[in-house]
Structure 1
Amino acid sequence: MTMNHVKDAVGAYVPTVQQSTLAKANLIDTLLGSGLGTEILSGLVGEAEVSPRNLRDRLRVAIRAGALPLTPKRLQKLQAALELGRQLYVEETPPGDVLDDPYTAAAVFNCIAWEPVEKFAIACMDVKHRLFSCCVISSGTATETCVHPREVFSAAMRAGGTRCIVAHNHPSGSTEPSKEDIELTKQLLAASKVMGIPILDHLVVSRGASTSLRTTTALWQE
């Protein structure tokens, strides 16, 4: 194969904006019927290229607003496809997996990352950081959830955890810790010294993204 052939092959592989948009339109056509994919995407994004997450969010907003040119049956199909995609993405981390970094730990909390209200959860591990349980401790509103250190360590002791990682979600999509998040983390770390159950990290998760307070703050060095 000559260099020109290599260049042509690589060029054919890299999707252009038009190819990427066409691929999404073809998927919608397959699901709902010929021509609807292009019509829906043109109305939502025009000729702009958007991320899958951005497109998903735009579709959900359009569905709630009744802004899509779809019959009730086709609208139901589209909603089912979006929900199926969400559920397939949210895979459970099997017990026994070692949680030795924030990225691996964040996957445990995919179960709350897409929730429309804030939820606080705890993952309990053994001394070798092997996961054996994860549960939701509290559920709140779209902007906050209330949890007390007592509830966190009660859950840890019931599960027999000797190491824990806690997390909560931000339905807004931002994973930037709030002042309240930092203050709660301080309380949890202080209580963990008394209880003898180390809190290894506090994660903020949302829609596939996450922030580790252990790696982005100095709280564990205080």
Structure 2
Amino acid sequence: MERMAAVAMVEWAESAGDGSVREEKETLLEAESPRERLFRLGAAALTDPELLSVLLGSGSRTRALAEALLATSGGLKALVQRDPHELCTRMGPARTAQLLAALELGRRAQRVTERRPRLRTPKEIHAYLAPNLSALRREVFHVLCFNARNVLLLDARVAEGTINACPVDPREVFAAAISSRATAIVLAHNHPSGDPEPSGQDLGLTAQLIEAGRVLGIKVLDHVVVGDGTYCSLLERGEMPLLGAETRGPWSMEGGRG
């Protein structure tokens, strides 16, 4: 804390026009720990290795471990997608548990707090889904079930797959919709690669489910593919009508791609 106060004093002197303090400031900043920088500047100012070292513990060895983990993993997103047992061999079970717990807390903090939120646009759907889907190491398929006022009645995960495929049983999709007495559904799945561009299989499955929904009287409003910080909505791209969906539905088209 004393070093933080010293840095603040040096910055004040520098702002007053005293150019001789610049070297002293650089020396102090080099010696400043990530934890001290966090309290002085806020967490957003820290680099990924600094944030990781704060989480894992103090000291230069921890900082070196954090930098090595990120370098060998290919970045923060790749690190959090690694198998927990593999991480244990690099930094031990206690630190691995700390990392996994911190990631889960971050995801939960971003979740919609309403039990039955009203979701009216693809952008709102993506904001709702991203905390749970964007960092997964395998594909999962969700069915979001809505009433006529866009209120989410049920968010059902109906399939789990591998890193690049997720077989979906249409019976599971509409079982969720029927059990919740939904009038409309939105299909959603993630791409662990980070690229939300839908595949030919995604488009074929969407067309199949649209047709099944017609028979059951349940509208398929959209298919949202979640990527790394972004998404693809077939409705926004104008592909749902081409696949045979109704052009009219309860969704408004406010907002754009996230």
Between 1:156-165 and 1:59-68, the stretch displaced more is: 59-68
Looking at structure 2, the residues matched to 34 and 105 of structure 1 have their Cα atoms a distance apart, in angstroms, of: 42
| Residue 129 in structure 1 maps to residue 158 in structure 2 | no
Paired residues of 1:123 and 1:131 also in contact (CA < 8 A): yes
Deviation at 1:106, TM superposition (A): 1.9
Paired residues of 1:126 and 1:161 also in contact (CA < 8 A): yes
Aligned partner of 1:98 among 86, 93, 118: 118
Q: TM-score, normalised by structure 1?
A: 0.71
Deviation at 1:26, TM superposition (A): 5.9
Paired residues of 1:138 and 1:145 also in contact (CA < 8 A): yes
Aligned partner of 1:143 among 152, 158, 164: 164
Aligned length: 197
Looking at structure 2, the residues matched to 59 and 132 of structure 1 have their Cα atoms a distance apart, in angstroms, of: 31
Deviation at 1:220, TM superposition (A): 1.8
Alpha-carbon displacement from aligned partner over 1:150-183 (angstroms, at most 9, x marks no partner): 3322221111001111111222222110100001
Report what 2:194 is aligned to: 173
Aligned partner of 1:39 among 46, 61, 64: 64
Report what 1:204 is aligned to: 225
Q: Which amino acid aligns with 2:128?
A: V
Name the SS for the 2:124 alignment partner. Answer: helix
Alpha-carbon displacement from aligned partner over 1:181-206 (angstroms, at most 9, x marks no partner): 00111112222222221111111114
Looking at structure 1, the residues matched to 155 and 201 of structure 2 have their Cα atoms a distance apart, in angstroms, of: 23
Looking at structure 1, the residues matched to 182 and 83 of structure 2 have their Cα atoms a distance apart, in angstroms, of: 44
Paired residues of 1:109 and 1:121 also in contact (CA < 8 A): no
Between 1:201-210 and 1:128-137, the stretch displaced more is: 201-210
Aligned partner of 1:215 among 227, 236, 243: 236
C-alpha change, 1:24 and 1:124, in structure 2 (3 Å) is same
Deviation at 1:36, TM superposition (A): 4.3
Looking at structure 2, the residues matched to 139 and 152 of structure 1 have their Cα atoms a distance apart, in angstroms, of: 13
Deviation at 1:120, TM superposition (A): 1.3
Alpha-carbon displacement from aligned partner over 1:98-142 (angstroms, at most 9, x marks no partner): 211101112333434433222211111111111121111122222
Structure 2: unaligned runs, 5 residues or longer: 1-14, 16-43, 245-258
Paired residues of 1:32 and 1:78 also in contact (CA < 8 A): no
Report what 2:19 is aligned to: none
- Larger Rg over CA atoms: 2
Q: TM-score, normalised by structure 2?
A: 0.62
Name the SS for the 2:177 alignment partner. Answer: helix
Name the SS for the 1:138 alignment partner. Answer: strand
C-alpha change, 1:24 and 1:191, in structure 2 (3 Å) is same
Identity %: 30
